[in-house]
Chains A and B, each alone.
Chain A
């Protein structure tokens, strides 16, 4: 991977801010009802159990109130009846880049996907609105028995694995938005890694919203069988429209005995996207799940990746970076449910507030009473750039049992004036100095990212810092 230092995965906002007028082959229209669900099922040829599952989920969605008793009132600005729930060009993903329709191809070429794939990626899946437009997996990986397909294809071709885990880590009833996703989900990835297979290069997915008033509801399910290892990366973009757009995904990870899953997200939705995502992993004995979550875009993000530590000595980790610029609210965090002895978890969250941006950490650490030897460490640090930036921390820690220990620490600070002065004295402009400072603040986390992502992230930070000083 060392020769790929120049990143091609351009996801900065100016690059993502374009859209094409598409004529969609399938369009479920505006609004949500049982008819919409039926339409999606018909187009996708869903089996009966999925149709029932979706309809049940729709009922749950309708019955659940908005969680505004603890969450921001901004949620009330989502008007569910004004959203398009399904749009696609035809739902069989193309295997070769040449088969992809030209306008879709234009979008992805601007985002740099094929080059990226050619260079090092084991497989790529790109989702345009509701369906995957292009999907491929390198022959070597496929030979090892790795399955990397869209969720629809996974459902149709590998029902025995799909059905066993689908909806098991995040039940439909988990929250209002997981129910919504369960009712209208489309696209997303289905990945299965056979026992003992260690996928060397990361698998990658891109999500893009192209249509106005559109809701993207992808559903990802990753299963790493015993002793398997995989890294999955996703990037998200959308052009800027005048009205709000909704992204509500559900991601379920299953790491069987001794497996390792690393899930990396760089989210750079445009600043009118409501990004309400439920992500959770299930870690069995000796398994390890690590979420690396980086939120830069969107109007409101509410995302708390979690790990259910179900087997002994399982380990869960969440590394989170959030950047809230003016008009943005990054409400992120992590959840760790310890359900077996000697499980450990680590949460490190760093947030940066610029202008009147607001960043929030919300966390949950749960250790019940029959367990022993569980450990959690949580660190949250916030850096505030302007006088009107805002940061909040709301952890919840519940501990019982024997020889369990939990520590939580949070701090809030600003960029030190002395440091800025020192750098200016060495010839840097104030803005450069500030950028360098902010990059230093997140550096220990960024280093854990794959190289091309960490370079990209630094660029994004520089971009966001532009004009924030002075």
Chain B
């Protein structure tokens, strides 16, 4: 028997995490809510920081966990406000949406509410604190009931203690919202922390699409984010969730997602990961009704010294359920990615069909891709496979393109964009596909070494 976690690559093993910034948050809202936040704060304080040998943080460079001198909900300068509204509203007039909220430093800056007809059908789309006031029974029923178990439990409690910004979406039975709903979360300053929340409750046979954008006013900015997204897809519901992460280069963020899929429901999530110094994504799907399906997609473009730390879980609770995960990473410079995935088939969850795939494309000799695809299977009549590949751009492909007159740099770029195309096509939305591909193209072009 051997110790499997050597050799460790943690760059500064001596650095202990500092959580100095997180002090008791100020109370807000109604009394049950205040109580809930205070309880969460107490839990946060009593929880230990993940230990060095915690498997959920294997390969993680913990030296980046220095959270000092951060502030919450600071006032934004007029200049920052103007830039935020320009990017999230004025530049996007062409895009048709069902609703849009814009938050800066966890404060609501802009709102475009739902069309009256939808509201009349019982659809709720509200800034989070407003929903806490107006729909306490729904919030109490669904708020953070599915706790992520992938390592960042402490940060989940921190989020719960601090959360003020975010959106609540409720779709009643048989209602379809045909235009996407968008929410923007901006970090306005270098030393700011934000706690965006997205709670999606889709009742039976409903349909909805939500897009979250995470951005910084200055692309070099730091800051901290602990975001939570809870998605509940009721029987036969169809839910699509896209998170576009474009933080500034020094930002450290934790995005915790939980996806609950009921009988015959279909959830599709896509994470586009571009910004941040350390960006952790924890995503857990639970298939609790037969015939349910969860597609989990992710695209990462890493350059410089960025680290993307991705931990996923596909839990098959009921019989005859499906899940399909595809995480693709392109790594340039000295960037690192960590993919740790697990498919768990519970006892009795026969006829499970689960797939998990992690593909890493190394664009430099110094990039570092770590992959830990896992399976835990407790039933025998299943089809579960996973695959992981890590490789460079194929010389033969480059030769072919050059022989057709395409310069090498363009050939490499085309190859990289093509690498992501397969994932983008699976979201089945031409407009969004183009928008995301532009973002990838932009980041690729900004990577000087390529």
B16 on interface, CB distance cutoff 8 Å: no
A71 on interface, CB distance cutoff 8 Å: yes
Question: In the complex, are the beta carbons of B389 and A410 less than 8 A apart?
Answer: no
Binds A, one of B258-266, B361-369, B424-432: B361-369
Q: Which of B4, B377, B385 contacts A392 (CB 8 A)?
A: B377
B384 on interface, CB distance cutoff 8 Å: yes
Residues of A within 8 A of B151 (CB): none
Question: In the complex, are the beta carbons of B1 and A175 less than 8 A apart?
Answer: yes
The chain B residue sitting closest to A379, CB to CB, is B387
A391–B59 CA distance with the chains assembled, in angstroms: 24
Question: In the complex, are the beta carbons of B376 and A396 less than 8 A apart?
Answer: no
Question: In the complex, are the beta carbons of A390 and B377 less than 8 A apart?
Answer: yes
B382 on interface, CB distance cutoff 8 Å: yes
A69–B50 CA distance with the chains assembled, in angstroms: 12
Residues of A within 8 A of B390 (CB): 397, 399, 404-407
The chain A residue sitting closest to B352, CB to CB, is A412
Q: Which of B4, B383, B392 contacts A403 (CB 8 A)?
A: B392
Interface of A is mostly: strand
Supposing A69-B55, A174-B2 touch, asked if A401 and B365 sit within 8 A by C-beta, the answer is: yes
The chain B residue sitting closest to A300, CB to CB, is B1
Question: In the complex, are the beta carbons of B1 and A304 less than 8 A apart?
Answer: yes
Question: In the complex, are the beta carbons of B385 and A387 less than 8 A apart?
Answer: no
The chain A residue sitting closest to B389, CB to CB, is A407
Residues of A within 8 A of B99 (CB): none
Question: In the complex, are the beta carbons of B385 and A408 less than 8 A apart?
Answer: no
Residues of A within 8 A of B105 (CB): none
Binds B, one of A193-201, A316-324, A361-369, A434-442: A361-369
A2–B348 CA distance with the chains assembled, in angstroms: 47
Interface size of B in residues (CB-CB distance below 8 Å): 46
Task: Give chain A's interface residues, CB within 8 Å of chain B.
Answer: 67, 69-71, 174-178, 276-278, 280, 302-304, 306, 335, 353, 362, 364, 366, 369, 372, 382, 384-414
Question: In the complex, are the beta carbons of B386 and A393 less than 8 A apart?
Answer: yes
Q: Which of B347, B369, B370, B373 contacts A410 (CB 8 A)?
A: B373
8 A Cβ contacts from B1-47 to A = 1-5, 7, 9
Number of A-B contacts (CB under 8 A): 159
A413–B387 CA distance with the chains assembled, in angstroms: 15
Question: In the complex, are the beta carbons of B377 and A70 less than 8 A apart?
Answer: no
Q: Which of A176, A177, A277, A395 contacts B388 (CB 8 A)?
A: A395
Residues of B within 8 A of A404 (CB): 362, 390-392
Give the shortest distance, in Å, between A299 (CB) and chain B (any CB): 14
The chain A residue sitting closest to B336, CB to CB, is A400
Give the top 8 A-B pairs by smallest Cβ distance, nearest first. Answer: A384-B380, A302-B1, A405-B391, A393-B375, A399-B390, A402-B365, A411-B385, A408-B388
A280–B4 CA distance with the chains assembled, in angstroms: 13
Supposing A369-B366, A388-B347, A409-B387 touch, asked if A395 and B373 sit within 8 A by C-beta, the answer is: yes
A411–B9 CA distance with the chains assembled, in angstroms: 29
Residues of A within 8 A of B59 (CB): 396, 398
Question: In the complex, are the beta carbons of B1 and A277 less than 8 A apart?
Answer: yes
Question: In the complex, are the beta carbons of A364 and B55 less than 8 A apart?
Answer: no
Q: Which of B380, B382, B388 contacts A406 (CB 8 A)?
A: B388
Residues of A within 8 A of B411 (CB): none
Question: In the complex, are the beta carbons of B372 and A394 less than 8 A apart?
Answer: yes
Residues of B within 8 A of A277 (CB): 1
Supposing A398-B9, A398-B370, A411-B385 touch, asked if A382 and B377 sit within 8 A by C-beta, the answer is: yes
A69–B55 CA distance with the chains assembled, in angstroms: 7
Q: Which of B367, B376, B384, B392 contacts A411 (CB 8 A)?
A: B384
A400–B388 CA distance with the chains assembled, in angstroms: 15
Supposing A175-B2, A335-B2, A409-B387 touch, asked if A400 and B373 sit within 8 A by C-beta, the answer is: no
Q: Which of B51, B362, B381, B387 contacts A400 (CB 8 A)?
A: B362
A376–B58 CA distance with the chains assembled, in angstroms: 21
The chain A residue sitting closest to B387, CB to CB, is A409
Supposing A406-B388, A408-B387 touch, asked if A386 and B366 sit within 8 A by C-beta, the answer is: no
Question: In the complex, are the beta carbons of B365 and A400 less than 8 A apart?
Answer: yes
Question: In the complex, are the beta carbons of B2 and A304 less than 8 A apart?
Answer: yes
Q: Which of B53, B372, B374, B381 contacts A69 (CB 8 A)?
A: B53
Question: In the complex, are the beta carbons of A388 and B378 less than 8 A apart?
Answer: yes
The chain B residue sitting closest to A401, CB to CB, is B365
Residues of B within 8 A of A392 (CB): 374-377
